[in-house]
A and B are shown apart, each in its own frame.
Chain A
Amino acid sequence: MFETALPGARGSDATELLRELVRTEDRLYRLVAERRVLTDLDLSEFATMWVSFASTRFVRCSFAKAHLENTFFDFTSFEECEFGESACFNVSFAGARFERCSFRGATMDQCNFNGIEAKECDFSDASLRRSRFINARLQTTRFINCDLHDAIFRYSLRNEVTFKHSNVEEAFL
């Protein structure tokens, strides 16, 4: 496994460094930025595959229009982050904490949201086909007009959560 250190920096320098670190596709699974605090990063149109950001804290970062596949954000914390219109497939957010994050219009099919804590998040207009929210704790979170085909919310705790106008065909709510 390849391991690299990323300074817990903020702004454009850190953004460029992060882009550079994940650019090479010569390894299966790289540890990038583990246990770091990353603030105000513009990761829009970012593309990753087989990269792990486990236990990292993202504050006010933008993943808008990012393309993430087989990427691991396990036990990561996201505060005021933007995932609008991003395309995620097979991304693991297991055990992550989301606070005031927006996923509006994002495609997050077959993603692992098991055990997450989401507070004041907005998944409106998102596609979450086959995604899993097993054991998740959701508070004041909106799933309006979502595609929740085959999504699983088993054992999740929900408070002020709405699924209005969503496609829940074959979903386990």
Chain B
Amino acid sequence: MKIISSFCNRSGSNMYICGPDKGGPAAIIDPAPCTESVVRSLAAHHYDIAAVLVTSPSAALEHSIRTISRIYPVRVFAGCDRIGEIECVDASGQSNIDVGDLSFSVIPVRPHSRFSIMYGIEEVFFTGLIIHAGTIGDTANEYAEELLVSLVKRTLGEHGEGSVLLPGVGPTTTLRAELNVNPYFRRQDGRARY
């Protein structure tokens, strides 16, 4: 498996392409507007985008998904059945999504929002805006915040602290780093947040 990460200057967000070593069907996670380097990279790796995985549905993704769907016959997976005018497969009830030889685990994260999902493959998790280096995404209240931290610890902790977290914004991180330096995780451990 290979992962190509791409930073979009315009939206300030990260997009990831995950595909097999030797080319074939691949998935794109939280698509940003396609740049020339992304198109070139897809061609170089012989990838055909077969699925779009959305961590947190938003109108900002609609244009990118529409562009991709005009080039590749993709299925769009999200925590809802529609993003704007784009029909999606509601993945929140599924445990896995298979894209060619790759199998992504589906982790609904309701404390973040009822539509939010993290996707995992091997020891890598695409966390979107749910967790990013040193912080967590917005929640409705402090109770939801506590639930979110507990859920992340419980579900990702099963895969070991070496798990890599690839967020939708900001730098890459690991579960070990978040458990030890993220103020939200430290606070729940009874350690000081500040």
Residues of A within 8 A of B (CB): 1, 26, 28-29, 31, 50, 52, 54, 70, 72, 74-75, 89-92, 94-95, 110-112, 114-115, 130-132, 134-135, 150, 152, 154-155
* CB atoms of A132 and B171 under 8 A apart: yes
Residue B177, interface by CB 8 Å: yes
* CB atoms of A132 and B133 under 8 A apart: yes
Interface 0/1 of B21-40, CB less than 8 Å to A:
10000000000000000000
How far does the Cβ of B94 sit from chain A's closest Cβ, in whole Å? 23
Residues of B within 8 A of A (CB): 1-3, 5, 7, 12, 21, 122-124, 133-135, 162, 164, 170-174, 176-177, 180-183, 186, 193-194
* CB atoms of B171 and A130 under 8 A apart: yes
Q: Which residues of B contact A152 (CB under 8 A)?
A: 134
Q: Which residues of A contact B174 (CB under 8 A)?
A: 54, 72, 74, 92, 94
How far does the Cβ of B90 sit from chain A's closest Cβ, in whole Å? 29
- Complex Cα–Cα for A90 and B79 (A): 27
Q: Which residues of A contact B135 (CB under 8 A)?
A: 134, 154
Contact of A74 among B3, B7, B21, B176 (CB under 8 A): B176
Q: Which residues of A contact B162 (CB under 8 A)?
A: 1, 31, 52, 54
